[in-house]
Amino acid sequence: MILLIFFVLSLIKIIHSTTYRCDPTISCGCSARTTNVTSRIVGGAATADYTWGWIVSLQRSSSHACGASLLTSEYAITAAHCVYGVSDISLLSILAGTNYLYDTSVTTSQRRTITKVTIHPNYNCTTIASDIAILQFATLNVSSSSKLTFICLPKQNQDPFKNNTDLVAVGWGTTSQGRSTPSNYLQQVTIQAIA
């Protein structure tokens, strides 16, 4: 696993601070907020509230396990290794509509128990091939006040990750090397695709 992480990180070229602006005319992907993204993959920078309305926390027994991206008000996509081997899916839930993992006073946050997990049929836990899964849950309340959006998906046969394309990674990952505890607040960092 460490070798895989090293390999992936060696393919990523870190770039300096970038200002990310959303297109408010699109129906998916981001909000109308502007955010400044820094250049570190470990740590990154705290996101502005509601900048990434499609990111949700996949949780096991109410503790953050992985990030997931909203596809619709009932489905999200995540990595298969995040749900592989979970025998009791009633322990899984998503937390949406907030950047804070444990602040229950955020009025836009919504929690839903996972009702179905579909792992890619070719997922291989040894090689991590086809590391993708779909989560189904009770319908989220989506309105302008919910602050939720859906992730944009590329068109069929379209590769959105061209060489030197700026990408933004978001999540509740660790904020320093060697630390295993996730950040309590959503983090972001700009990286550059290398083909």
Among the residues of 29-79, which ranges form H helices?
Answer: none
156-192 residue pLDDT tens:
888 877 777 778 889 998 777 776 778 899 998 888 7
> Residue 93 CB: number of other CB atoms within 10 A?
21
- Residue 23 counted as domain residue: yes
- What is the mean pLDDT of the segment spanning 24-48? 61
Task: Supply the range of the domain harboring residue 34.
Answer: 11-192
- Residue 64 counted as domain residue: yes
> Residue 65 CB: number of other CB atoms within 10 A?
19
- Residue 181 counted as domain residue: yes
- Residue 157 counted as domain residue: yes
Q: What is the largest CA-CA distance in the chain?
A: 43
38-72 residue pLDDT tens:
444 566 788 888 889 999 999 999 999 999 999 99
- Residue 83 counted as domain residue: yes
> Can you list the pairs that 170-174 forms with residues at least 24 positions away whose Cβ atoms lie under 8 Å?
170/47, 170/52, 170/55, 170/67, 171/55, 171/67, 172/57, 172/64, 172/67, 172/101, 173/42, 173/44, 174/42, 174/43
- Residue 5 counted as domain residue: no
- Does the pTM surpass 0.75? The reply is yes
User: What's the structural domain count of the chain?
Assistant: 1
- Residue 68 counted as domain residue: yes
**What CATH number is associated with residue 179?**
2.40.10.10
- Residue 142 counted as domain residue: yes
